Amino acid sequence: MSFRSHALLALAASGLAACAGNQTLISSNEISQTYDEQQIGFATQDGRAIPVIVAGNPFGDSRSKLDAAMVDAMNGSNFGPRVTFAVDPAKPATQNSRVVFAFNPEGQLLSGSLCLAVPQSRPATGRDLRIAAAYCQGSQPMTEATGSIGDVSGPESPNFRALTVQLTQALFPPNNPHRDEQNGNCTGC
């Protein structure tokens, strides 16, 4: 899928959330200086999938229903090479790559903590949802993002899907803003 297609998809997802009376909000997004969008293709070659770890279940639905909704929204939503995301994949990605999501996490979780340990999550309060997410290689975060949205009744909610799509796009940006596009050197490193 092209960059333009992804941009249109993100815009459509935002519009869907807005029509429902709530706006998806990505409140923080960090990109490591070592993030390399090309490494994603190498890590997932030969049919490998990036594992997805989901901490918490704010809806009380079955775990498999939540996991399926997460990876369904993620697959096809990242920028860059086509990537398959899966909970417990048969052939996991190399470099100990994985994505970690934490629902309604306790406290501030960025600065790499999602890559070190799966955090404790709190039950949902009403229909508002906050998700912290990280794309990790080993114990190092390559990217991190936090987002929130209201009026989420369950994993089948269009608002839930919109937030998951936008978080996936934040975790897998098309390029690293720390890198000079001309020669690939890291600027400000």
Give the pLDDT confidence score for residue 125 in this predicted structure.
62
Give the pLDDT confidence score for residue 1 in this predicted structure.
41
Give the pLDDT confidence score for residue 16 in this predicted structure.
42
Give the pLDDT confidence score for residue 6 in this predicted structure.
36
Residues of the chain falling short of pLDDT 50: 1-21
Cα atoms in the Cβ-side hemisphere of radius 13 Å centred on 170: 23
End-to-end Cα, the chain, rounded Å: 31
Burial tier of 171 (Cβ tally within 10 Å: 0-12, 13-18, 19+): buried
- pTM of the entire predicted model: 0.81
Q: What is the pLDDT of residues 147-187, one digit of tens each?
A: 998 888 889 999 999 999 999 999 999 988 887 655 556 55
